[in-house]
């Protein structure tokens, strides 16, 4: 089932099918549901065979960038005499995104098993699951699951009696969106400020503690046991659109929508049906106005674009946005787009690590100007200035947080220009998003 609503008949629940079942959280309950069979199966295979299956399945990273997972794993060179690490990115701080939280709350063993399989496939002796500090419940659930797995001999020096060492540790973050960026996460894990690193070198060459490292999102790793149990062909067949986007995807849906929650559909599912049918559509008496479909970092879609979208990596791109993290923010006609965008730029300004000038200055100035427009003190020139600053913030920094701040501003001004102009021309637009006085 989905969460917190029962599964919709149009969903394809794989990772979400045990959400809401408290028993699935325990090792026994998880084993009853087929847990750890995939791990047992793969420990009899060679790492190379596992990587090939994951490559063949077409699984792509669910953390935002959509990089092919099998290919990423193939960059690791087990047996080169160095220590190797796996990092699981459970920092989930992208506004609109809360799917990894549900995976960890309801099916923590799916993630432990996925980590163990990935660790074996890339030759990592040690795995760190880096969980954002605010996720107190997921932290406890994951720590409990890891402990159970150690106590049962699934993890440790002699994992599942194979003589192979698989260690998994849960590591708590301390409040910083930027630590979800992969190299910032590694810095943070090492006990430093979470400043992203210049790439190259890429993590597979020099990652955490300067050693070869693979980093994957929670949802990516949780999908791995399913793929190895049922095969690459089975996973690949789950696509309504094109062979580049395969399997199922979790979407966390929030904002002005009747049934917010986490849903799972196959790649290529029509976004129109998803929004209006699966998620229940607009609240009474309201109309949907815009959607940010992949977390706050992706371009805003008009309803026209959204309703023409097939939900996969290429489908969102073809309709002016990106799949991103799958965090769907729905905005209705009671909201001011300018107020929504102003609050998003404030988010990015708050979360900028401050290393790069374009980002540190750009996020702050962008926020000042958008807020000024929101408050009725803007000028038409401000719109040009915002676009100019945004262009300066794109492709010019160590990581893409800077680009992400420009995205809602530029897509907002392009697609909802009239709302900016009405405010500039002195017409107040109703909004619940006003600053606390």
Partner 1 sequence: MTKPSVGGLESPDLSSHDATAHESAPHVPVFAGAAREELDQLLTRYPTKMAALLPALWIVQRERGWVSEDSMAEVSDLLDLTPAYVKGVVTFYTMYHQHPVGKYFIQVCTTSPCGICGAEEVVKSLLRHTGTGDLGLTSRDGKFTVIEVECLGACGFATPVMINEEFIESVTPEKVPGILEDLA
Residues that bind ligand FMN (CB under 6 A): 61-65, 67, 89, 91-94, 178, 180-182, 215-217, 220, 399-401
Q: Are 169 and 129 in contact (CB under 8 A)?
A: yes
Shortest Cβ distance from residue 59 to ligand FMN (Å)? 9
Backbone angles phi, psi at 263, to 5 degrees: -130, 155
Residue 256 touches which member of partner 1, ligand FMN, none, C-beta under 5-8 Å by kind: partner 1
Which residue's CB is nearer to ligand FMN, number 67 or number 234?
Answer: 67
Binding mask 126-165 for partner 1 (x = CB under 8 A): -----xxxxxxx-xx-xx---x------------------
Compute the distance between CA of residue 212 and CA of residue 215 in angstroms, rounded to an integer. 10
83: contact with partner 1 by CB under 8 A: yes
237: contact with partner 1 by CB under 8 A: no
Beta bridge partners of 251: 263
Distance of CA 188 to the CA centre of its chain: 19
209: contact with partner 1 by CB under 8 A: yes
Shortest Cβ distance from residue 5 to partner 1 (Å)? 10
Q: Measuring CA to CA, how many Å separate 417 from each of 378, 411, 422, 424? A: 13, 9, 9, 11
Residue 281 touches which member of ligand FMN, partner 1, none, C-beta under 5-8 Å by kind: none
Which residue's CB is nearer to partner 1, number 158 or number 379?
Answer: 158
Shortest Cβ distance from residue 367 to partner 1 (Å)? 13
- Length of the chain, please? 437
Distance of CA 393 to the CA centre of its chain: 22
Which residue's CB is nearer to partner 1, number 64 or number 173?
Answer: 173
| Token pair listed for 121 | 């496939």
Shortest Cβ distance from residue 68 to partner 1 (Å)? 26
Residue 96 touches which member of partner 1, ligand FMN, none, C-beta under 5-8 Å by kind: partner 1
Scored b (16 or more CB within 10 A) or e, 82-100 reads: eebbbbbbbbbbbbbbbbb
Identify residues 238-297 at the interface with partner 1 (CB under 8 A).
252-256, 260-262, 296
Q: Within a 10 A sphere around the Cβ of 152, how many other Cβ atoms?
A: 14
Outline where 288-378 has alpha helix (H): 303-307, 313-318, 337-351, 357-374
Beta bridge partners of 167: 126
176: contact with partner 1 by CB under 8 A: yes
């Amino acid at each position: 089932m989905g969460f917190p609503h029962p599964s919709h008949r149009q969903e394809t629940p794989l990772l979400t099918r045990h959400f809401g079942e408290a028993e699935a959280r325990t090792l026994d309950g998880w084993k009853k549901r087929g847990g750890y069979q995939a791990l047992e199966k793969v420990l009899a295979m060679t790492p190379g065979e596992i990587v090939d299956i994951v490559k063949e399945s077409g699984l792509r990273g669910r953390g935002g960038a959509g990089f092919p997972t099998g290919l990423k794993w193939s960059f690791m060179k087990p047996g080169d005499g160095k220590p190797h690490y796996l990092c699981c990115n459970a920092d989930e701080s992208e506004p609109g995104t809360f799917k990894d939280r549900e995976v960890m709350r309801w099916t923590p063993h799916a993630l432990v098993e996925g980590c163990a399989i990935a660790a074996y496939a890339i030759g990592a002796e040690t795995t760190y699951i880096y969980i954002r500090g605010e996720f107190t419940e997921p932290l406890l659930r994951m720590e409990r699951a890891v402990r159970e797995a150690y106590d049962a001999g699934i993890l440790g020096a002699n994992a599942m009696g194979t003589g192979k060492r698989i260690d998994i540790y849960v590591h708590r973050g301390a409040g910083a969106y930027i630590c979800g960026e992969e190299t910032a996460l590694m810095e943070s894990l090492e006990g430093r400020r979470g400043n992203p690193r210049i790439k190259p070198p890429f993590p597979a060459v020099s990652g955490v503690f300067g050693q070869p490292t693979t980093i994957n999102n929670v949802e990516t790793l949780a999908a791995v046991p399913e793929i190895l149990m049922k095969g690459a062909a089975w996973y690949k067949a789950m696509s309504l659109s094109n062979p580049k986007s395969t399997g199922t995807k979790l979407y966390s849906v929030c904002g002005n929508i009747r049934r917010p929650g986490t849903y799972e559909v196959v790649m290529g599912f029509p976004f129109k049906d998803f929004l209006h049918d699966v998620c229940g559509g607009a609240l009474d008496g309201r109309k949907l106005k815009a959607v940010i479909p992949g977390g706050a970092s992706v371009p805003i879609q008009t309803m026209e674009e959204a309703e023409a979208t097939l939900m996969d990596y290429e489908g969102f791109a073809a309709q002016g946005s990106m799949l991103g993290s799958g965090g769907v923010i729905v905005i209705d006609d009671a909201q001011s787009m300018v107020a929504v965008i102003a609050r998003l730029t404030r988010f990015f300004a708050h979360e900028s690590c401050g290393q790069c000038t374009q980002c540190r200055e750009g996020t702050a100035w962008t926020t000042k100007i958008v807020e000024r427009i929101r408050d009725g003190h803007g000028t038409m020139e401000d719109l040009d200035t915002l676009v100019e600053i945004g262009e300066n913030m794109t492709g010019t920094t160590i990581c893409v947080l800077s680009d992400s701040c420009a995205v809602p501003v530029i897509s907002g001004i392009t697609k909802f220009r009239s709302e900016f102009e009405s405010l500039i021309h002195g017409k107040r637009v109703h909004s619940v998003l006003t600053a606390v006085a």
